[in-house]
Amino acid sequence: MGKAILILACLVLVAPVVSSQRKRPQRKPKSDPLTEAINPATVPKDELLFDEYDYLIDRYVTWRLASRSDEQPDHSQMFTYYDPKRVIIQGVLKQAWLKTEKLKNDELEFYWLDLYEFDCKGSRFRILETHEYNKTGNLTEDFRPSNKPSWVRIIPDSVGEEQHGILCLNRKDQMRLDMEEAARFYRLGRLTEKGKRFDVAIRWYERAEAMYPDNEKIAEALKRVRALKP
């Protein structure tokens, strides 16, 4: 009898632990900042920069900004674009055209197109061909090797690593990151505008405009707040 009572007591002690483990809630997937920005469920409509239409248009842009370099001392900067709809998948290999523009003082100097091939599993890439154009779009250089070049390993914190992350690891491209930052800055602008802190609101709206230029909603907000400023 004593042994049976002891076993029963052990089962009573263990049962709550098992029950609590079974009832433990599963982790919810991390939300997407831009998805939240177009979903008025938690954000007031007047604080949203992008609506659903803008969000859908974002997905159908031909050349998307993949990455951009820091501005150099001579005021030059590189912008690299890719077209998700033209990516060719062959097993673990992905081929994609990357378009890189060199701007100086915000004016295009020249650009080139590289056909990249990424080995997603091996974390390496090679450039299959290159075509360079002047600012008017005339071809100035054409390089197509007869044999496929050797593979180059992905170097940390390089442009190659950024492109590999976007194409092979589904990381966000620069266009997407810029949209998220602009949406966040715009909302901060609206909050400070509602608090009648117009100087601060202008700074937030200007930051939003820098991340996503030529947006009518940001331009209207800046015009409105500048008129309200004493």
User: Is this model's pTM higher than 0.85 or not?
Assistant: no
Residues above pLDDT 70, as percent of the chain: 82
- In this structure, of 26-35, 129-138, 154-163, 188-197, the range with the lowest mean pLDDT score is 26-35
Same domain, 77 and 127: yes
Please say which residue of 171, 198, 219 terminates a domain.
Answer: 171
Q: Quote the CA–CA distance of 121 and 95 in Å, as a whole number.
A: 14
Range of the domain at 79: 62-171
Same domain, 187 and 109: no
What's the CATH number where 164 sits?
Answer: 2.40.128.710
Domain count, the chain: 2
45 band by pLDDT with thresholds 50, 70 and 90: confident
DSSP category for residue 55: H
Averaged pLDDT score across all residues of the chain? 84
Same domain, 74 and 117: yes
What mean pLDDT is predicted for residues 163-174? 93
Same domain, 83 and 128: yes
Residue 75: count other Cβ atoms within 10 Å of its Cβ.
11
3-state DSSP assignment of residue 209: helix
Say if residue 200's pLDDT is above 90: yes
Same domain, 116 and 207: no
Task: List Cβ neighbours of 166 (8 Å cut-off, separation of 6 or more).
Answer: 66, 82, 172, 173
137 band by pLDDT with thresholds 50, 70 and 90: very high
210 band by pLDDT with thresholds 50, 70 and 90: very high
227 torsion bin: left (phi>0), alpha (psi -120 to 50), beta (else): alpha
* 31, containing H or E segment: none
Same domain, 135 and 43: no
pLDDT tens string 85-114: 899 999 999 999 999 999 999 999 999 999
Q: How many CA atoms lie within 13 A of 188 on its CB side?
A: 16
What pLDDT is attached to residue 148?
Answer: 85
Q: Quote the CA–CA distance of 188 and 205 in Å, as a whole number.
A: 8
41 band by pLDDT with thresholds 50, 70 and 90: low
Q: Is residue 19 one of the residues assigned to a domain?
A: no
